[in-house]
Amino acid sequence: MAVSQIDAASQLGKFLQIVYSNGIRNQISEDFRDWEMVSKFKVSDEAARSVNFLLQTSLGANAVQWSAQGSGAAFPSSQKIDSGEKSAGFNEIFTTIELEYDLWDRAMNSPHKYAGPLETEIRSKGIAQKRRLSIDFHGDGTGLISTAASASVVNTTQIKVVLSDESGERICEYGDLVAFFAQTGGSTVNVNGVLNYGQVVEKLREENAIVIAPFTAADVALTAGEAATAAAALSSSDYMYRRDQPTKADLTTAFNGSNEVNNLTEVMPGLESLAASDGRLVHGIVMSGASAGTSFDASSELLDISHIQKAMSKVKNVVGQGRYKYQQLLGSTESMDTFIDSQETDRRLISINDEKRGAKGFGYVHGNDTLLLETSEFARHDRLWMLPAGAKESGVLELHGKDFKEVKVDGQSTYLKPSSGGGHTPDIRKYMFGVMTLLTKHPAAINQIKNFTNNA
């Protein structure tokens, strides 16, 4: 019988050393360009209790009236402008870094040999932070991922969950722990008493599905029979969140106009709330009328260049011609693919080489504005966002707060990990936290195209 390479290598183990290739090969995306964009909107580094600002929603237009010449008519009734003070509360976000004490000690004493894994752990957490913030930038502040359209067992004990929200898959990350809750929030939905949570092991973007490894509350993997029972019980009445999100919103009353979105959960409100037009309350702003976001509803039509034209004409009528310079069109990769098909038949979609910003791609010209189409891994499949250039300076989008920093107590930033049975384990932890809020002082200037379809 022929000797395999592995067998041959083991036979030589007494005489030859094992050779490791340099570095650790990351297998997943490290892209967080959305957060790099958001960080450009940073206005202050103050971590106060809240950011207060004034919004004006009318000009007092009724105080301007015509009268006949020489009629001696009275001046019209006075009408003050409508304005009010609004307040944006801060959100805290935490990160925990954990590794073996032995590795930490050796890295401190022989950094040239052992610092690599330590640096990888810390760097990876930094990437995970920015990717989480990029995801939540596109969210509504509830943290809701989706409900289950269907579920089935794969690989004997894993569960494939097809999500009802067609953009739910892109909210999940590999390794995320997800759990199912009632629509009113509250305790975990223990599906048939066995499924407590699942770890995301696969993301199927084309199918808008994830595959989870299911576990009980005691962190025990489900058997094949238990997995089949749990999969059969999952339904659209079970709302999926990240397992450790502290507060799950009561979605029966979440957006009824009296609940402040910023208080529904600890998650920072993103574009879906900051540019809403359904009457929800965001940072004290009722998102309707003059203080609503601007949107063009494509009514489930295939995404088309004409949608950009109509959406841009609408926002310029709402906020005023020339008030803002629009240069960015942010959407999903699926939308980019649809536009590439359109470029062959529509001359309004042009190629752009922007040497100043280093950008190259497709753009659309509307009046004096040229919008460059940029893609995001996390953007909803049925959303296109048009954000003004210099949004920070114009107050359209503002980021306030402090970026992540190490938690230090008495000058120390490294701690032994407590054991559940008392004492400590031979592991160490470092903690990081940030406090921030994202707000808009002119929601109507954030323009979106929604409810369209893309080429399959």
Taking only the tens place, the pLDDT of each residue in 384-439 is: 999 888 777 788 999 998 888 888 888 888 888 888 788 888 888 888 888 889 99
The domain containing residue 341 runs over which residues?
41-47+84-96+253-456
Residue 133 domain-assigned? Answer: no
Residues 266 and 412 both lie in one domain = yes
Over the stretch 263-310, which tens digit does the pLDDT of each residue have? 899 999 999 999 999 999 999 999 999 999 999 999 999 998 899 999
Average pLDDT of the residues of the chain = 85
Residues 215 and 269 both lie in one domain = no
Residue ending a domain, among 237, 271, 295, is 237
How much is the pTM?
Answer: 0.85
Over the stretch 111-150, which tens digit does the pLDDT of each residue have? 766 666 667 777 888 888 999 999 999 999 999 999 999 9
Residue 208 domain-assigned? Answer: yes
Residues 196 and 278 both lie in one domain = no
Name which of 205, 198, 191 is nearest 157 in CA terms.
198
Pair 197, 243: CB distance under 8 Å: yes
Residue 132 domain-assigned? Answer: no
Please count the structural domains in the chain.
2
Residues 91 and 155 both lie in one domain = no
Over the stretch 197-250, which tens digit does the pLDDT of each residue have? 999 999 999 999 999 999 999 999 999 999 999 999 998 989 999 999 999 989
Residues 261 and 200 both lie in one domain = no
Looking at residue 137, its pLDDT comes to 94
Residue ending a domain, among 237, 263, 296, is 237
* Alpha-carbon dihedral 203, 208, 210, 211, rounded to 10 degrees: -100
Mean pLDDT for 21-29 is: 63
CA 369/CA 363 separation, integer angstroms = 10
Residues 330 and 414 both lie in one domain = yes
Residues 271 and 358 both lie in one domain = yes
Residue 337 domain-assigned? Answer: yes
Residue 172 has pLDDT above 90, yes or no: yes
CA 353/CA 359 separation, integer angstroms = 6
CA 27/CA 120 separation, integer angstroms = 13
Residues 180 and 92 both lie in one domain = no
Residue 6 domain-assigned? Answer: no
Residues 219 and 303 both lie in one domain = no
Share of the chain above pLDDT 90, in %: 42
Looking at residue 20, its pLDDT comes to 47
Residue 24 domain-assigned? Answer: no
Residues 282 and 312 both lie in one domain = yes
Pair 446, 293: CB distance under 8 Å: yes
Residue ending a domain, among 179, 213, 237, is 237
Residue 226 domain-assigned? Answer: yes
Residues 157 and 293 both lie in one domain = no
Euclidean distance between the first and the last CA atom of the chain, given in angstroms as a whole number: 51
CA 109/CA 103 separation, integer angstroms = 10
For residue 254, the 8-state DSSP code is T
- Segment among 255-264, 350-359, 404-413 with least mean pLDDT: 350-359
Residue 399 domain-assigned? Answer: yes
Residues 344 and 437 both lie in one domain = yes
Mean pLDDT for 19-39 is: 72
